[in-house]
Structure 1
Amino acid sequence: MTKVRKELIKELEMYRAYNEQEEADRQVILDSLLSEELIFERAESTKHITVSAWVVNPEKTKALMAYHNIYDSWAWLGGHADGDENLLRVALKEVSEESGLKRTHPVSESIFSLEVLTVDGHIKKGSYISSHLHLNITYLIEADEQEELSTKEDENSAVDWFTLDEAVEASSEIWFRENIYRKLNEKLRELK
């Protein structure tokens, strides 16, 4: 087991769950990190580690969302670890790739939120991907809302800033809207 994985396990063991969902999902993620050697790879086809970023402006009044083509919805930014166990680095890379932002930084290097997410089967790059779980680690990332945005055409068709409440309402995915994005905003408001 690598040093980075050991540090992630330790952080998850000490992580203070915000609610019942986070506590249940924390245990699933921990169990998987301890038992699944390839959990950071997509080769683990039934479940694997992913990373998301709740990107906010410095005032923490707006969130950045991308219109994801697969989900046909406005959503947070993020992606697969693809073997990289440094999840904060993955989060920052995904934000840059999906939004064009170059000047981002973590509000904290600590995990902001945890989620086990179901992913329905879908077509990606011409191939069928079976339904599976994303064991998701979320980081709070800050960016300048005046910086120019761009899309990643193979993943999203728009990127834009929304007020915190508008970001929740922009999503057409009810479960995300009610259980993830609202939670992220509640946690964010507690930081202020």
Structure 2
Amino acid sequence: MYIDVIKKYQPINEQEAVDKAAILAFINRNSDCLSRDNMIAHLTTSAIVVNMDLTKVVFAYHLIYKAWAWVGGHNDNDDDCLNVAIKEAKEETGLKNIEPYLNTPIMIDIIKVQNHIKHGKYIPDHLHLNLTYLLVADENEELKIKEDENSGVKWFALEDMINITSEERMKPIYQKAFDFVNKLRNNRK
């Protein structure tokens, strides 16, 4: 299922075209690409969760990165990436009613992850072969912290988010997502 999703994805720029080709090549050579047991690289799924008006985005303050960031996570052998995006978004924000804005990914990226300690275990540098989905939720629904992953969950004005996140390496990825959302919102008018 995930292979077809990646194959059908239409890259929006050269970076995505190169990343898509590299991800497909990696998948073809690594049967364990859906599992974090592959310590070189593995498939992950992220979500940009927006409000109904497409003017706000919910981000979590991640403990590992010590930064406001999108939600998402490891596929852990689940080949349904959209399901992973929704599940992770619900777990990390406490939101119960999250729906896909689109059923297809809006971005594809290879993201380098620095070594870190998680649950007392050393995790080496590795790559996340990442698909990103656009999800929508009610901004008035209660947010909840997931204490083992984040220390805050909050809605931000979309235009402010780039200046709030402190992960420089992620800013171009987030900007690509926000540009996509802004284009959708402008097309609604």
Q: What SS does structure 2 have at the residue aligned with 1:90?
A: helix
Q: 1:169 Cα deviation (Å)?
A: 1.4
Equivalent residue, structure 1, for 2:107: 113
> Counterparts of 1:157 and 1:22 in 2: how far apart (Å)?
32
TM-score by length of 1: 0.93
RMSD over aligned Cα atoms: 1.0
Among 164, 168, 173, the residue aligned to 1:170: 164
Q: Aligned AA for 2:133?
A: Y
Equivalent residue, structure 2, for 1:103: 97
> Counterparts of 2:153 and 2:5 in 1: how far apart (Å)?
31
Is 1:72 the counterpart of 2:104? The answer is no
Equivalent residue, structure 2, for 1:31: 25
Among 135, 142, 149, the residue aligned to 1:141: 135
Q: Aligned AA for 2:65?
A: Y
Write the mapping of 1:43-58 to structure 2, written as runs, cut at 5 A. Answer: 43-58=37-52
Equivalent residue, structure 2, for 1:185: 178
Following TM superposition, the consecutive aligned residue runs of length 4 or more in structure 1 with deviations greater than 6 angstroms are none
Q: 1:13 Cα deviation (Å)?
A: 2.4
Among 88, 112, 122, the residue aligned to 2:82: 88
Q: What SS does structure 2 have at the residue aligned with 1:83?
A: coil
Write the mapping of 1:146-161 to structure 2, written as runs, cut at 5 A. Answer: 146-161=140-155
Q: 1:138 Cα deviation (Å)?
A: 0.4
Q: What SS does structure 2 have at the residue aligned with 1:26?
A: helix
Q: What SS does structure 1 have at the residue aligned with 2:153?
A: strand
Q: Which consecutive unaligned segments of at least 5 residues does structure 1 have?
A: none
Cα deviation code 1:36-91 (max 9, x no counterpart) = 10000011111000110000001100011000010010000000000101111111
> Counterparts of 2:32 and 2:4 in 1: how far apart (Å)?
19
Equivalent residue, structure 2, for 1:13: 7
